[in-house]
Each structure stands twice: as C-alpha cells, then as structure tokens.
Copies of this chain bind each other. A is one copy, B any other.
C-alpha cells in the first residue's frame, strides 16, 4: 500500500479505536464483581493506551497531526460504543472478547497490505493473548454455571457485530479512498470476499470456543 494518505487514515482509525477502547473498558471495569476481575479489565484497558501511543507517534513521524488525522473517525467509534454500552459484567467481557478478536484479525489482514515499518507496528499492537484467555474463561465458566445465559449473550454478541459492521460501512462510505485501497489490496491477495470470509470464520470459531452461537 503505497498511498501515504491512506496509511495515515488507517493508522489514525486504529489509534482512535484504541483510545476509545481504553475509555470503554476502563468504565466497564466498574461492572466487575470483584477486585481481581476489575483489575484485570482495567489492565486490558491500560494496554490499549500503550498501543495508542505507538500509533500516535508513528502518525507524527509520517508528518500527520494525530488529532486532525483521528477526528474523521471519532463519531463512528463513539456511536458504536454508545449503541453497545454493556449492562453487566458478562456483556462487558463479551464486548472485549469479540471486539479485540475481530480487531486483531483485521489488523493482521491489514498489516499484510502495508510496507515496513507500518506492517511491523500494526502487528505489534495486537492484543496480548492472555486477555482473550481471561475473558474467554470467564464467559465459558459463567455459561457452564448458568446455561440459560448462552442465549442472551449470543444475541448480545450478534448485536455487537451488527453495530460494528454498520459503523464500518459508515467509515467506508465517508472515506472512499481508504475503502478502495483496502479492497484493492485485498483483491491483489485474493479478494475482498475472502477477507470477510476469514474474519467471519474466525469470529464464529471464537464464539464456539466459549459456548456462544453465531
């Protein structure tokens, strides 16, 4: 991907997503039933800020003003979080588990479109796997203890994905150059349908792992 403006857009989108994820998870940590779990979600939130800083500093190196670069993406991400405010601890965990999982899969796909050092940077801001293990284990054991939960939480996960897709479409519509570049890059490597299929398959597998239906 040799279009510097689109790279700036992409890194700015990822950066603002991290900042917003920090905000959301830090708030959601209050839903934790005990201090150990609260600390764990707080730590997951804190990790987003470390990644945010790396992306922000890369934006500056590329000559972009980070705030200005992020601004076009703030509304879609704020709306996503506002539409998917978790009401309890399990909803918060699933939001982190599903959201981080899809985000990481997307980052890995996107990294392959980029040249160094951006490729390396995007691979390095992936989430620590022990966070997914923690969230997954919490969800699994909650469903084991109360199988009725599976239905409600599966619906919640579908709502998260639906709202995420709808905001992603909005971002794509507002940033045709960015959207076109991702589509072109994806088609060079196969096709954009393949990318969506891989993201969907990985998401379905992640859901099944913790006892949820897609």
Which residues in A have some Cβ–Cβ distance to B below 8 Å?
16, 19, 22-23, 26-27, 29-30, 34-36, 38-39, 42-43, 45-47, 49-50, 52-53, 56, 66-67, 70-71, 74
Task: Name the distance in Å between A88's Cβ and chain B's nearest Cβ.
Answer: 18
Known contacts A35-B66, A35-B70: A50-B56 contact under CB 8 Å: no
Task: Name the distance in Å between A58's Cβ and chain B's nearest Cβ.
Answer: 14
Oligomeric state, in copies? 2
Name the one of B30, B34, B49, B74 contacting A46, with C-beta atoms under 8 angstroms: B49
- Contacts A19-B38, A22-B46, A27-B27 supplied; 17 other A-B pairs, CB < 8 Å: A16-B35, A19-B39, A19-B42, A22-B42, A23-B29, A23-B30, A26-B26, A26-B27, A26-B45, A34-B67, A35-B66, A35-B70, A35-B71, A39-B56, A43-B49, A45-B46, A45-B49
Q: Please tell me if the beta carbons of B67 and A42 are within 8 angstroms of each other in the complex.
A: no
- Name the prevailing secondary structure of the A interface residues: helix
Task: Report which residue of A35, A45, A50 has the largest number of chain B beta carbons within 10 angstroms of its beta carbon.
Answer: A35
Residues of B within 8 A of A30 (CB): 23
Name the one of B27, B39, B67, B70 contacting A52, with C-beta atoms under 8 angstroms: B39
